[in-house]
């Protein structure tokens, strides 16, 4: 395998493959570096296709010397051609990558599978995270499956469904009186003096690698081809940038041909530091205090914001923001046209796709992939009251008087 | 009374392992940092560049990010707690 070191994205300084995430010299983020030069495209493709039906089929591109033990797998979720959605939006070809079809119903199973495997390899007995909900579900579940103790930190106002779907796994669930950025700051401070693997703090470089597998899957499921455009949500910006990194690695190895697709980021107006910086032409994000129904994207101080901006600009894309009403409409649009019920984050992404289509940003011959990261059952409040139920007595007369008579 | 500064792991190599320190006579966050730069060799270039904080450094006063306050001009008083943290953590 090709994993080499941790490398600072800002200054290039290298570090050993340990529980490190910040460059001592410039405070830049560390990222896993690989030497892919020895990988032969044809042989790698055969290995992938003969591999397990999980993210581990891409083990050559993950940060391990040999395939690790993994108690709860993730990945190989459906890529669904969405012709009815495309027709409604007036665009040619849309595919929905439905990552709600993971063990805990969000893309977070990918990152947690990688982070936990690395945490165990590094000898940690306790795992933890700062979460907006989906990560909480995933860390609690994967820790339970692996028999590790876990501490999950969430903002106190999180959706009840996400709280219940975390506590059930037997984790130590800590509700913090503050927003996600407060939770994140607390976890960063706690990580300094505890021998715990905080998946999105001190082992974050490995965790982030899991998101690359979404890019690999999209390319593999399209027959080892790239789409023209990817529309994906932006919270910390890690998923958004790592999908692109996955494509770049496969281009380097020669598994796919062409250029990195156009990347469109999706945020909620009530928490849009990246969209705001994009519109203003800034290369860094000004933090905001989130106020949106899209709680899984409610990160006001996004760690990878500068890199998300850079990716959107470099590929001719954009980062847009949509209102809470547009988010609800986006959830309904996706459900009505594809049969996929997504959470608020997917509503943000679908609403952003609609916005791009209405603005005429999408070319007539484009193949677009819409990245749906989570499950609608986790944010039921977003659809409450959005439709009517007809109540009838259990008689034909009642049905006919209230609904429809027989022809 | 003085201003307390909490030092992250990544900077403890230049603070001889100290996780917390105090500064007596500073009126703003900028002056607190200047005091630290004077005290600890090698600190300035790690977290600052061209007179401003590097983009992956967060500084908080009493738990509030100084970018919601007045940045380096944010006023500090005796008893305040200033926290320096890496900005690269997190993700839903």
Give the CATH number, domain containing residue A169. Answer: 3.40.50.1100
Is the four-CA dihedral A304, A310, A312, A318 of positive or negative sign?
positive
- Chain A residues with CB-CB distance to B82 below 8 A: none
Closest C-alpha to A366, from A264, A266, A216, A279: A264
User: Is there a contact between A26 and B85 if contact means CB atoms under 8 Å apart?
Assistant: no
User: Given CB atoms, is A11 within the 8 Å cutoff of chain B?
Assistant: no
- The pLDDT tens digits of the residues spanning A256-298 come to 999 999 999 999 999 999 999 999 999 999 999 999 999 999 9
If DSSP codes are grouped into helix, strand and coil, which group holds residue A230? strand
Whether residues A137 and A277 share a domain: the answer is no
- Do A287 and A151 have their domain in common? no
The verdict on residue A278 lying in a domain is yes
Residues 6+ apart with CB under 8 A from A117: A64, A68, A69, A70
Beta pairing, strands A367-372 & A93-98: parallel
Same domain, A183 and A229: no
Question: Which residues span the domain enclosing A345?
Answer: 79-105+211-382
Residue A392 near residue A403 (C-beta atoms within 8 A)? yes
The answer on A297 and A256 residing in a single domain is yes
In this structure, are residues A58 and A211 in contact, taking their beta carbons and an 8 Å threshold? no
**Count of helices and strands (H, E) across chain A:** 14, 13
Contacts of A158 in chain B (CB under 8 A): none
Query: Of A137, A69, A74, nearest to A102 (Cα)?
Result: A74
Name every residue whose Cβ is closer than 8 Å to that of residue A213 and which is 6 or more positions away in sequence.
A55, A58, A62, A74, A75, A110, A246
Model confidence over A162-208: pLDDT tens digits?
999 999 999 999 999 999 999 999 999 999 889 999 999 999 999 99
CB nearest A200 (choices: B8, B47, B89): B89
d(CA A144, CA A55): 20
In a domain, A395, yes or no: no
A18 touches chain B (CB under 8 A): no
Q: What pLDDT does residue A70 have?
A: 87
* Mean of the per-residue pLDDT values of chain A: 96
Q: Do residues A203 and A265 share a domain?
A: no
Give the integer Cα–Cα distance in Å for B41 and A335: 59
pLDDT for res B51 = 87
In this prediction, residue A382 has a pLDDT band, given cuts at 50, 70 and 90, of very high
Location of structure tokens 């709600």: A100
Cα separation values, A228 from A219, A221, A259, A315, A349, Å: 11, 14, 9, 10, 17
Percent of chain B with pLDDT over 90: 88
Q: What does the pLDDT look like over A36-57, one tens digit per residue?
A: 999 999 999 999 999 999 999 9
Same structural domain, A85 and A126: no
In the stretch 153-192 of chain A, residues with CB closer than 8 A to chain B read 180-182, 184-185, 187-189, 191-192
Q: Is the pLDDT of residue A66 over 90?
A: no
pLDDT above 70: residue B1: no
Distance (Å, whole) CA A325 – CA A293: 9
Domain total in chain A: 2
CA–CA dist A70, A73 (Å, integer) = 6
Q: Which domains does chain B have, with CATH numbers?
A: 3-86 (3.10.20.30)
pLDDT tier at A1, thresholds 50, 70, 90: low
pLDDT at B91: 83
């Amino acid at each position: 395998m090709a994993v080499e070191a941790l490398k600072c994205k800002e200054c290039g300084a290298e570090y050993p493959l340990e529980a490190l995430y910040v460059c001592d010299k410039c405070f830049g983020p560390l990222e896993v570096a690989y030497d892919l030069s020895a990988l032969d495209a044809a042989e790698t493709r055969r290995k992938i296709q003969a591999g397990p039906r999980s993210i581990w089929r891409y083990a050559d591109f993950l940060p391990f010397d040999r395939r690790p033990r993994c108690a709860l797998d993730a990945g190989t979720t459906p890529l669904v051609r969405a012709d009815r959605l495309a027709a409604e939006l007036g665009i040619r070809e849309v595919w929905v990558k439905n990552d709600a079809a993971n063990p805990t119903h969000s893309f977070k199973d990918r990152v947690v599978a990688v982070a936990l495997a690395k945490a165990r390899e590094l000898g940690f007995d306790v795992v933890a995270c700062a979460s907006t909900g989906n990560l909480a579900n995933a860390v609690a579940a994967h820790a339970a499956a692996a028999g590790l103790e876990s501490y999950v930190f969430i903002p106190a106002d999180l959706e009840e469904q996400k709280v219940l779907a975390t506590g059930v796994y037997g984790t130590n669930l800590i509700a913090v009186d503050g927003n996600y950025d407060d939770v994140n700051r607390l976890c960063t401070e706690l990580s300094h003096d505890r021998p715990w693997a905080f998946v999105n703090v001190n082992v974050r470089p490995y965790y982030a690698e899991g998101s690359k597998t979404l890019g690999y899957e999209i390319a593999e499921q399209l027959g080892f081809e790239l789409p023209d455009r990817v529309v994906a949500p932006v919270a910390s910006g890690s998923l958004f940038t790592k999908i692109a990194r996955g494509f770049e690695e496969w281009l380097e190895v020669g598994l796919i041909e062409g250029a990195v697709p156009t990347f469109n980021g999706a945020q909620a107006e009530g928490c849009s530091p990246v969209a705001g910086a994009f519109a203003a032409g800034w290369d860094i994000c000004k933090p905001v205090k989130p106020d949106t129904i899209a709680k899984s994207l409610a990160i006001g101080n996004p760690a990878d914001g500068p890199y998300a901006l850079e990716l959107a600009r470099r590929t001719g894309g954009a980062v847009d923001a949509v209102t809470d009403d547009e988010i609800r409409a986006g959830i309904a649009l996706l459900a009505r046209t594809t049969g996929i019920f997504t959470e608020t984050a997917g509503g943000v992404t679908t609403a952003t796709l609609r916005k791009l289509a209405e603005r005429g940003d999408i070319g007539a011959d484009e193949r677009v992939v819409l990245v749906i990261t989570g499950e609608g059952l986790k944010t039921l409040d977003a659809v409450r009251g959005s439709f009517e139920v007809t109540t009838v007595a259990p008689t034909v007369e009642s049905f006919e008087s209230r609904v429809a008579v027989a022809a | 009374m003085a201003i307390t500064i909490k030092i992250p792991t990544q900077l403890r190599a230049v603070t001889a392992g100290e996780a917390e320190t105090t500064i007596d006579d500073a009126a703003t966050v900028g002056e607190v940092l200047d005091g630290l730069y004077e005290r600890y060799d090698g600190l300035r270039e790690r977290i600052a560049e061209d007179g401003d904080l590097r983009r992956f450094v967060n500084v908080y006063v009493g738990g509030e990010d100084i970018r919601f306050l007045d940045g380096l001009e944010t006023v500090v008083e005796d008893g305040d707690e200033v926290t320096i943290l890496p900005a690269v953590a997190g993700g839903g």
